[in-house]
Amino acid sequence: MHSLRRLRLQRKPSLRRLYHDESFGYRKPRPFVFPDYTPSQLENRAHNAALLRYVDSVRTHGHRAARIDPLDLIHRKEVAALDPSRYGLTDESKKYNVNGIIWTHPSVESQGENMTEEWWTLGEIVRHLRSIYVNRIAYEYMHSPSKSERLWFSHRLESKSTPTTLDADTKKRIHGLLARSEVFDNFMQVKFPNLKRYGLEGGESMLPALDSLFSSAAQADVSHIVLAMPHRGRLNLLTDLLNYNPTALFHKVGGGAEIPEGLGAEGDVISHLVSSTVLNYGSDNQAVKVSLLPNPSHLEAVAGVTLGKARAKQYSLLKTSADDCKLGDRVMCVQLHGDASFTGQGVVMESLGLSNLPHFTSGGTVHLVVDIGYTTPASQARSSLYCSDVGKMINTPVLHVNGDYPEDVVKAMEVAFQYRQYFRKVMLLDVLNFCHSFHNELDLPNLTSPLMYDKIQSRLSVPQLYEQKLVTEQTLTTEDIANVREQHKSNLNDKLDKVPSYVPSASMLKEQWAGMVWPISKGAVQSPDTSVDKDILIRVGKASVQVPQGFEIHPKLQRHIKSRLASLASGKGLDWATAEALAFGSLLLEGYDVRISGQDVGRGTFSQRHAMLVNQKDENTVVPLNDELSAPGKLELANSISVPEHSDLQFEYGASWERPDLLPIWEAQFGDFFNGAQIIIDTFISSSESKWLKQSGIVMLLPHGLDGAGPEHSSSRIERMLQLSNDRYTYEEDPSFNINMHVVFPTTPAQYFHLLRRQMKRNYRKPLIVAGPKGLLRLSPAASSLSDLETGTSFRSVLADPYDNASTASRVIILSGKIYYDLLKERQARGLDANIALVRLEELSPFPFAELATVLEGYTSARVFFYLQEEPRNQGAFGHVKERIMWVLKEMVGAGDVELVYKGRKESPLPAPGIGKLYQAQQRTVLESAFEGF
């Protein structure tokens, strides 16, 4: 029995690896395998076991004694594990065969079978290891479970395969970056003394680190780098390495706009400015385009956005053979962090958790932490030794380096890049610096950290220390240094003089966005044709449930397949999943790609989608719309099993920035759970167009509806989305009005179908927030007919009562969502179809003033108008629609003194009660309130 159980446990992982392997978009970089030890090396390792223990101990613990603190404030205890005598090694003159224990040759082969012996004294071994592992770069890699990674690092470091010295030209380039950064900070302090600019002062080594990374990437044929960073040093990087015009910066600092007039945008602060530029490196001027993404002040909020954009840039690779896919060859993701945010923000952990997953990896992200520490001691700032320790959750190697030594920082970055190239995984570089002026230039750090800042303010700056070194070794003269500084200061003065004549420009509709327009331009198509020919719909529908020959599906799925085929044949009874499949498939045929991510999206939270079929015999999968439709577009189902709402939504949003021809969908398991991603909704989805001129076609599917499931499984908090909307309170023809996002509450599958297609058929992009169905997914009265999708149909923002009661209804109830079907059933039971009209608001933002007025004008006998919702009064859509409906009634319909009466739950701190009987009683009260007086 026990042996059988062990066999099952052994088999499970191999079966699990098959799950999703054949799904489109499932990609893992090809593994790099470092050569294993030879038999003679293994024999020597066994013979010199004590030496081996010592060497591995230095590799493991050397970082604890490394000299990585530029201020020498970190109290480091003696590391006993680094003493060779603990392992019985006491005679420094004794010689040991180090073959297979220490890597001594750059070529792995030269230290293989052909060389069985290489003798070093213990003293030579100790000095060699300490020069590597107990120096100004600290290495943490022995925690990796990958033997190849551990061997690769040991070989690369110990064999000195990376040059230990830099040539004069490289040193001069490093100096130029450091000196110009200091000149820039000093210039800004003099010209704009009251400006919070978050300069580098103390962290200048960040610039040569990035320059080295960009250079290595360019010479490795990486063509595009997607870069994210917070405020610290952003202006230094922009105006130097990334070719941002200082005149534009000075114009912005003086209160000017960074974007042209006439776009209806309001811009952002200087610490969020962006640049996209081409840099050339090497003797052949190899080019790499670096795109610095905009970011909000919420630290790390851009992390997942960068991952999504970098992945989307490589989307075409996913359409090739898996053997041809080399994620990371042409695009690299780079993220900069502060030490506090990297330790403290949970989205860092979420993003790291996504970064190596097959549906999310972009081929390896390089992370650079600008570790400045501020005035809070590490003992009070985090519970771990290093700010980078969160990276160990995915076994990421970490390099710590002393920021006072720019050349060491460059060397460390070269190692980081090479690791990324070999293994296509996350790499982390932690550069320990300090900040001369605390958080910003107006702070007084001496108030709380007098000893630290006495030391900082009495020492030379990082650029000055490096200049001393270069003068001493005669790489530069004092005249050379003065010329570099004076030339940059003169250039900045020239740029400042040009501010009065500066006119901002915009480049948001270039490259892949060239076919798009600005949403309020004359050429914007507001109401595109979203209908589809009947024959195409039937073709797509059949393909969506086509099972390959010999593929064994779960018996319960036969009912799902038969139901879909029957509805296609009759043209009636199309459920939500069918309408969605028809929308997806028709878009794929038109060349658009679709990606949907979230928990178990292949099956669907409510077991309704089944876009992915799993073979019951071997767990292999198929996606019928990809395999059977033969469409130019592809459907990617990215099951995000770990439920990282924040980073997952960030990722899909980043993809939407990169590809206007992609329909990116994020589906919450239940609508309630979006609040784990509230930051990105506030700072990106609802606002990026106005702040940064960034369009997005992101779709958020948020299952919504009170059905007795309790406080956290009932509400998409639609009131929050509506509060973020810039919707108008009154209606007028205003061509400059630019809604920031669409918030919809569809009640039929056909409406959902048209909404999805509208996202791609317009020639501009807008976020779409869908309060989606739960109980309606299989509700027969909520089904649609095929004719509702065919040529000539479209989405309707207001649905009039299907019963012919326009001339007889004395009461009109305006409502949204599934409560409509509950009321419809109750009205029929009471025989009041002719007396009460039910009008559905399907789109809440932008509010459909004209459409609602047209419908309400038809109810000539109506004297009473209700707005009814099942959500509590302080939640739901009532707060958003009340004033707007009243304006329609009085100003457009001419209803005089009529009032809009609220019907629904009273105010509550919960979206829904958790007590079943209380829910039923409340729901009954809501329904009965609609019929009071009849």
pLDDT tens digits for range 461-475: 999 999 999 999 999
Whether residues 777 and 917 fall in one domain = no
Q: Are 445 and 576 contained in the same domain?
A: no
Q: What is the pLDDT of residue 14?
A: 42
DSSP percent split of the chain into helix, strand, coil, nearest 5: 45, 15, 45
The answer, yes or no, to whether residue 321 has pLDDT greater than 90, is no
Mean pLDDT of 469-491: 98
27 pLDDT higher than 90? no
Question: HSE (CB half, 13 Å, CA atoms) of 741?
Answer: 29
Number of C-beta neighbours around residue 608 at 10 A:
17
Q: Which domain holds residue 154?
A: 39-158
Q: Is residue 44 part of a domain?
A: yes
Q: Is the model's pLDDT at 148 over the cut of 60?
A: yes
pLDDT band at 247 (very low <50, low <70, confident <90, very high): very high
The pLDDT tens digits of the residues spanning 560-594 come to 999 999 999 999 999 999 999 999 999 999 999 99
Which region among 340-349, 739-748, 830-839 has the lowest average model confidence (pLDDT)? 340-349
Q: Are residues 771 and 823 in the same domain?
A: no
The confidence score (pLDDT) of residue 147 equals: 96
The residue-averaged pLDDT of 512-519 equals: 95
Q: Give yes or no for residue 262 having a pLDDT over 60.
A: yes
Which pLDDT score, from 0 to 100, does residue 657 have? 97
pLDDT number for residue 440: 64
56: in domain: yes
Q: Please list the residues that pair with 869 across neighbouring strands.
A: 904
Instruction: Choose one of 138, 158, 178: the last residue of a domain.
Output: 158
Q: Could you tell me which residue, 112 or 570, shows the higher pLDDT? A: 570
- Same-domain pairing of 429 and 461: yes
Do 768 and 878 fall within a single domain? no
State the Cα–Cα distance between residues 686 and 688, nearest whole angstrom.
6
Could you give the C-alpha distances from 68 to 138, 376, 402, 430, in angstroms and in order?
7, 18, 4, 10
| 464 and 586 co-located in one domain | no
- Residues 559 and 676 placed together within one structural domain of the fold: yes
Question: Is 510 contained in some domain?
Answer: no
Distances (CA, A) of 23 to 2, 637, 844: 35, 7, 36
Residue 540 scores a pLDDT above 90: yes
Q: Is residue 183 part of a domain?
A: yes
Claim to verify: residue 579 and residue 451 sit in the same structural domain: no
- Alpha carbons 391 and 113: distance in angstroms, whole number: 36
> Are residues 604 and 703 part of one domain?
yes
- Please tell me which residue, 445 or 617, carries the higher pLDDT value: 617
Q: Does 6 map to a domain?
A: no
pLDDT digit string, tens, across residues 365-387: 999 999 886 656 666 678 888 88
Mean pLDDT of the chain: 92
Distance CA 821, CA 497 (A): 67
**Domain finish residue from 158, 188, 222:** 158
Answer for the pair 82, 65: CB distance below 8 angstroms, yes or no: yes
Residue 242 within a domain: yes
Checking if the pLDDT of 907 tops 90, the result is yes
Task: State the average pLDDT over residues 646-671.
Answer: 94
Share of the chain above pLDDT 90, in %: 79
- Are 545 and 478 contained in the same domain? no
Q: Is 677 in the same domain as 718?
A: yes
Is residue 894 in some structural domain? yes
How many residues are there in the chain?
934
Q: Where are the alpha helices (DSSP H) in 48-121?
A: 49-61
Q: Which whole number is the average pLDDT over 290-310?
A: 95
Residue 507 has a pLDDT of 87
**For the chain, what is the domain count?**
4
For range 749-775, the mean pLDDT:
97
pLDDT reading at 672 higher than 90: no
Span 282-297, average pLDDT: 93
Distance of CA 715 to the CA centre of its chain: 24
The confidence score (pLDDT) of residue 108 equals 65
**Residue 10 has what pLDDT?**
35
What residues contact residue 865 under an 8 Å CB cut-off, 6+ apart? 811, 812, 813, 814, 885, 889, 895, 898, 899, 900, 901
* Structural domain ending residue among the three candidates 104, 128, 158: 158
CATH number, domain containing residue 882:
3.40.50.11610
Task: Please report the pLDDT score of residue 3 as a whole number.
Answer: 37
CATH classification of the domain holding 273: 3.40.50.970
| Band (163; pLDDT cuts 50, 70, 90) | low
Residue 896 has pLDDT above 90, yes or no: no
CATH label of the domain that carries residue 592: 3.40.50.12470
- Percent of the chain at pLDDT > 70 equals 94
Q: Tell me whether residue 296 is in a domain.
A: yes
Residues 146 and 192 in one domain: no
Cα 453 to Cα 431: distance, rounded to the nearest angstrom: 19
User: How many C-beta neighbours within 10 Å does residue 932 have?
Assistant: 11
